[in-house]
Amino acid sequence: MSDYLKDPQIHREIIMDHYQHPRNHHLSDDKTYHKAHMASESCIDDLTVMMKIDKGLISDVCFDGVGCTISTASTSILTDLIKGKTLEEAKSIINSYYAMIDLKELNEDLLQEAVAFQNVGKQANRIKCATIGFKAIEQMIKEEETHD
Amino acid sequence: MSDYLKDPQIHREIIMDHYQHPRNHHLSDDKTYHKAHMASESCIDDLTVMMKIDKGLISDVCFDGVGCTISTASTSILTDLIKGKTLEEAKSIINSYYAMIDLKELNEDLLQEAVAFQNVGKQANRIKCATIGFKAIEQMIKEEETHD
Amino acid sequence: MLNVKEIRKDFPMCVKQDAGNGKVYLDNAATTFKPYSVIEAVTRYYTDESVNIHRGDYDLSYQVSDEYEQTRKTVARFLNCEEREVIFTSGASASLNLFAYGWAQKFLKKGDVILSSEAEHASNILPLMKAAELTGATIEYIPLTEEGELTIEAFKGAMHDKVKLVSIAHISNVLGFVHPIKELTKITHEYGAIISVDGAQSVPHIKTDVKDWDIDFLSFSAHKMLGPTGVGVLFGKYALLDQMDAFMLGGGNNARFDICGNIQLKNPPFKFEAGTPAIEAVLGLKAAILYLEKVGMDEIEAYEHELKTYAVSQLKDLKNVILYNPHAGTGIITFNVEGIFAQDTAIYLNSKGLMVRAGNHCAKILVEVIKTSETVRASVSFYNTKEEVDRLVDALRTITLEQCIDLSIM
Amino acid sequence: MLNVKEIRKDFPMCVKQDAGNGKVYLDNAATTFKPYSVIEAVTRYYTDESVNIHRGDYDLSYQVSDEYEQTRKTVARFLNCEEREVIFTSGASASLNLFAYGWAQKFLKKGDVILSSEAEHASNILPLMKAAELTGATIEYIPLTEEGELTIEAFKGAMHDKVKLVSIAHISNVLGFVHPIKELTKITHEYGAIISVDGAQSVPHIKTDVKDWDIDFLSFSAHKMLGPTGVGVLFGKYALLDQMDAFMLGGGNNARFDICGNIQLKNPPFKFEAGTPAIEAVLGLKAAILYLEKVGMDEIEAYEHELKTYAVSQLKDLKNVILYNPHAGTGIITFNVEGIFAQDTAIYLNSKGLMVRAGNHCAKILVEVIKTSETVRASVSFYNTKEEVDRLVDALRTITLEQCIDLSIM
Ligand SMILES: Cc1ncc(COP(=O)(O)O)c(C=O)c1O
Ligand SMILES: Cc1ncc(COP(=O)(O)O)c(C=O)c1O
């Protein structure tokens, strides 16, 4: 792993940056977007994530709502990661992320900035925050696949 | 007090007799009768008592239902005691009975055979059984009085 | 084989009896004693983790929330269902009311039939009577045998196309017959109906397997199975729960709502759990199930049946005793003494240290079947002994009406 | 004057803290710690009197039934009402749902108005939203001040002839303002309406007198006032209770029923108590009230207010802290740290041993009034100390976003 991605200082900065300047932080009026509203049961996050899929490709993804640093930053990073990817690619990113959260395996090529959350799995009470956006995307992909 | 009314043996016989051969043990179809249905909350007694009042006089009283020895016998004795009496007389019989149950005072002239229950107040869990019929009569007298 | 002597050491109430307080508890169908492990689970909450749940804002709350959800896992394993199919309620009565409100009131309509029995507990039948009244459905009753048993033949005869809901106790609290739930369920489903099972008397005494039986709903209380009062369970198949209305609304069961009245409820089971639940009671329920599993449900059933059979064999010889359910398979013994009213018998037995229940046991319409208005019920648990049964038999051998009266007036 | 040092010795959770576990509990609005006397009342049930109630068939059952009813007496004295006006429920949420079902759904009709506020807890407002939907009534909201307070002037302005029900919290769980219940009730009655008060946050913290205030209904939970979870109370004026429908049906609330569906319910309060109640929790509630009475409700109110005022005076000086309710009269402190999301603040405080709650506190529609979607809530009880408040202030003095993040990712 590159040093860049091992340094906790860098992790913090990545999260700070995505929390204070979340990417793709808006919603779309376009009715062809998929939409998932996630209201966490154990914390107070309340995010809506939207995604446009064109012929198996994620052509756009965006989100809005209120959330803590962890949920906001992780969702922001995720939107960056999967925009322009195929559904299959997005699924392997999400699965790699879950593997990292489970403290099993770290795939830095796929996860890129998301490696900032490599230790969040040690804080059981933050796992829901760190995965809320991923759950939303997963749900929408499933929706798309079953409607095919 | 006469010896007759002091002897526990006699008390038991009075109760046995009234339990096995309850007096006035039937109901009336006459719509002019007052009627009170008493279903005790803590035991399984379920009695209906009826009473006809003519110009302030209790001209008839009867009861039916299922009940334990104490509730059946006490109600049977009560019907004997108040039949033919005025409402005022009935009320003083009932009050004397309550005073006896409270272990306060024993008026054998008024209570007659009901003195068999002079110690029932010592068994807190039988008080409801020993007063169920009296409560019914009390309720019907109140009804009559408020409708006057 | 179950070691009663050792088991009794786990229950403070039994320990006191064995130390010589002279009491015999035979009212286990009403509620059971609690083992130390349950008491400890409850008090641990008070002394070590006395905070509210369902939030992860601080460690202790997270920890208690987790333990609370662990109980759901434990219940799911015990019943053989999914976690999300386990709803915590305040007791069997609340579970049965939730079902009647959320499912029966919602899905039944005029002309539909609810099939039930005359041996049902008030907490099962009354909410259904109300659902029937509100929806225009009617209730029909499966005829019972003379002893009050529900047979498959009678069930088949009573079943028809208009039946949309079958609702019966797996074990009746008055007569203790074990109904053939698996077969009844199969027939119910053949008619396209669903079955709601009142398990208040069965879950504590015989092995439950909702998946194998394929039942749709199951209600029971913790306090009848060594657990605390104030908590019960409604199991429901997830797809059915998902369609069902919430009985109560409030903190915890809504994800979001706004001023216009748009309410977004959570998914089952949380949708049905409004407000702060009985936290320590739920934790106690887990300890209760672990205890039952340790003893073994099959062992419990076998031993309780043995005790019952023993009691029946003794009581049969007493000429003054009328037994109503000699053939029932569980630990409930229903009887009367010739010429003595049930409550007087109970009070006499109380004077001998024996705790039994007199009454119609909340199955008030049953009197039309077994043709007696009131009975005495002695109900054993696996912590009862044959010596305790002997105490009952001895007391009944010598009971007289005179003695019963004397007890009240002396 | 209340002796906090001595009081803390009565609470095992405080004893542990004082022995040095480093924790500070400031989430008392969610639930409170329990004194030993409550724990003993609960465990005494398990070890000495583990039987069911409401029957007199044997001594122990009679004794426990009596203790259960003694709690009703104690509650009646504590609230200043009649015993028969006290209904035991499974908690404030259940009380509020029972009221909404039994009274609001029954007596409201199209065109009627329910007057409430935007600061209500989900457990109060959601059941009313449902009652409104079912009856065709509408809900109107009394405008609150900028700080979220409900004033008499605003109430008068909002009141009109179509209002049939006023339903508000005596003390809001988010902002801690004490509403002028007695005056509001007077006005409510002048319009011929009735008032239902959510007392979940008030009964534990200030003296209640339903007779003096003349309120019609009051709901609260035991677990927020030193008692067990799983039990709450609905007080209602007897004449109103008498007209009200039962929410749940079942064992215990019916005197008799027959196969034709004729049900004869008992009189209030028993009519509303179906099934085996939370017996040990009710016994624990009695011990909790006795404890509160011993300390004194007026003393509790004064001391909690003093703590709150002290906290506000300290927090006011911290530039990074936004206080939402500096003027509220009770022990609830609602705030945010500039630039840090409420939950991150709570998790940071957790790392310092401080237990507070982040959230919208189930009053989700309030965000439209105080204009912030999430807040941190620290809520004190009379067993909290000024030193504990200092711990909170110190932690907030040095909090940074970086530290909050590090806590989660390290
Ligand atoms: C068969 C049956 N169903 C339901 C109930 C009601 O249980 P609970 O009183 O715990 O709500 C009982 C207990 O009396 C029962 O025996
Ligand atoms: C104002 C208010 N009402 C109602 C409730 C609901 O109480 P419970 O969760 O004990 O049912 C609460 C507690 O969160 C509250 O603060």
Q: Whose CA is nearest to atom 7 of ligand 1?
A: C92
Q: Closest chain C residue to D277 measured between Cα atoms?
A: C230
pLDDT at D365: 55
Taking the CA of D179 as reference, the closest ligand is 2
pLDDT band at D146 (very low <50, low <70, confident <90, very high): confident
What is the distance between the alpha carbons of residues D400 and D410, in angstroms, rounded to a whole number?
Answer: 16
| Inter-chain CB proximity C409 and B120 less than 8 Å | yes
Least confident residue range of B41-45, C111-115, D10-14, D372-376: B41-45
What is the rounded average pLDDT of the residues D346-367? 81
Least confident residue range of B68-77, B120-129, D177-186: B120-129
pLDDT at C359: 80
What is the rounded average pLDDT of the residues C77-86? 98
pLDDT at C76: 98
pLDDT at D111: 96
pLDDT at A31: 93
Long-range contacts of D4-10 (CB under 8 A, 24+ apart): D4/D303, D4/D382, D4/D383, D4/D384, D4/D385, D7/D295, D7/D382, D7/D383, D8/D383, D8/D385, D10/D35, D10/D36, D10/D37, D10/D291
What is the rounded average pLDDT of the residues D235-256? 89
Q: For the segment C135-146, what is each residue's pLDDT rounded down to a tens digit?
A: 999 999 999 888
- Chain A residues within 8 A of C54 when measuring between CB atoms: 41-42
Percent of chain D with pLDDT over 70: 95
What is the rounded average pLDDT of the residues D294-310? 97
Query: By the 8 A CB rule, do C219 and C196 touch?
Result: yes
Longest Cα separation, chain A: 44
Q: Specify the residue for token string 């009221």.
A: D99
CA distances from D104 to B32, C369, D167, D216, D392 (A): 38, 40, 11, 13, 43
Predicted confidence (pLDDT) at residue A88 exceeds the cutoff of 60: yes
Q: Ligand 1 atom closest to Cα of C361? A: 14
pLDDT band at A6 (very low <50, low <70, confident <90, very high): confident
| Inter-chain CB proximity D407 and A123 less than 8 Å | yes
**Selection from C220, C176, C177 nearest residue C196 by Cα:** C220
pLDDT at A46: 83
What is the rounded average pLDDT of the residues C45-51? 97
What is the rounded average pLDDT of the residues A22-49? 87
| Inter-chain CB proximity A42 and C65 less than 8 Å | yes
Q: For the segment C250-262, what is each residue's pLDDT rounded down to a tens digit?
A: 887 776 666 566 7
What is the distance between the alpha carbons of residues D377 and D26, in angstroms, rounded to a whole number?
Answer: 8
What is the distance between the alpha carbons of residues C120 and C125, in angstroms, rounded to a whole number?
Answer: 6
C362 included as an active-site residue: yes
Q: Measure CA B71 to chain center.
A: 8
Query: What domains are defined for chain B?
Result: 3-147 (3.90.1010.10)
Predicted confidence (pLDDT) at residue D119 exceeds the cutoff of 90: no
For an interface test with B, the pick among D51, D54, D62 (most B C-beta atoms closer than 10 Å) comes out as D62
pLDDT band at C82 (very low <50, low <70, confident <90, very high): very high
Kindly state whether A12 is in contact with chain D, defined as any CB-CB distance less than 8 angstroms.
yes
Token representation of residue C83: 């976690």
The letter for the amino acid at D299 is E
pLDDT band at C370 (very low <50, low <70, confident <90, very high): low
Query: By the 8 A CB rule, do C240 and C103 touch?
Result: yes
pLDDT at C371: 67
| Inter-chain CB proximity C409 and B12 less than 8 Å | yes
Kindly state whether B63 is in contact with chain C, defined as any CB-CB distance less than 8 angstroms.
no
Does the CB atom of residue C55 touch ligand 2 within 6 A?
no
When the pLDDT of each residue in chain D is averaged and rounded to a whole number, the result is 93
What is the rounded average pLDDT of the residues C63-85? 97
When the pLDDT of each residue in chain C is averaged and rounded to a whole number, the result is 93
CB atoms within 10 A of CB D306: 16
Predicted confidence (pLDDT) at residue C363 exceeds the cutoff of 60: no
Predicted confidence (pLDDT) at residue A1 exceeds the cutoff of 70: no
pLDDT at D94: 97
What is the rounded average pLDDT of the residues D63-87? 97
pLDDT at C259: 58
Predicted confidence (pLDDT) at residue A48 exceeds the cutoff of 80: yes
pLDDT at D409: 86
What is the rounded average pLDDT of the residues B103-122? 93
Chain B closest-CA separation from residue D215 CA (Å): 29
| Inter-chain CB proximity D355 and C61 less than 8 Å | yes
Chain D closest-CA separation from residue C240 CA (Å): 21
Does the CB atom of residue D252 touch ligand 2 within 6 A?
no
When the pLDDT of each residue in chain B is averaged and rounded to a whole number, the result is 91
What is the rounded average pLDDT of the residues C104-129? 95
What is the rounded average pLDDT of the residues D340-364? 86
pLDDT at D174: 85
Q: What is the whole-number distance in angstroms between the Cα of residue C316 and the centre of ligand 1?
A: 29
CA distances from D336 to A20, B35, D25, D329, D406 (A): 17, 67, 18, 19, 19
pLDDT at B8: 87
pLDDT at A45: 82
Q: For the segment A53-86, what is each residue's pLDDT rounded down to a tens digit?
A: 999 999 999 999 888 999 999 999 999 999 999 9
Chain A closest-CA separation from residue C211 CA (Å): 27
Predicted confidence (pLDDT) at residue D374 exceeds the cutoff of 90: no
What is the rounded average pLDDT of the residues D206-231? 98
What is the rounded average pLDDT of the residues B1-28? 87
D332-337 and D254-257 beta bridge pairing: unpaired
What is the distance between the alpha carbons of residues D351 and D292, in angstroms, rounded to a whole number?
Answer: 32
Percent of chain C with pLDDT over 70: 95
pLDDT band at C175 (very low <50, low <70, confident <90, very high): confident
pTM listed for this prediction: 0.94
Does the CB atom of residue D55 touch ligand 1 within 6 A?
no
For an interface test with C, the pick among A35, A38, A40, A41 (most C C-beta atoms closer than 10 Å) comes out as A41
Does the CB atom of residue C236 touch ligand 1 within 6 A?
no
Q: Which of B77-91, C54-68, C356-370 has the highest average model confidence (pLDDT)?
A: B77-91
pLDDT band at D103 (very low <50, low <70, confident <90, very high): very high
Query: What domains are defined for chain D?
Result: 4-30+296-409 (3.90.1150.10), 39-293 (3.40.640.10)
pLDDT at C374: 85
Percent of chain D with pLDDT over 90: 85
Q: Ligand 1 atom closest to Cα of D250? A: 6
pLDDT at A65: 87
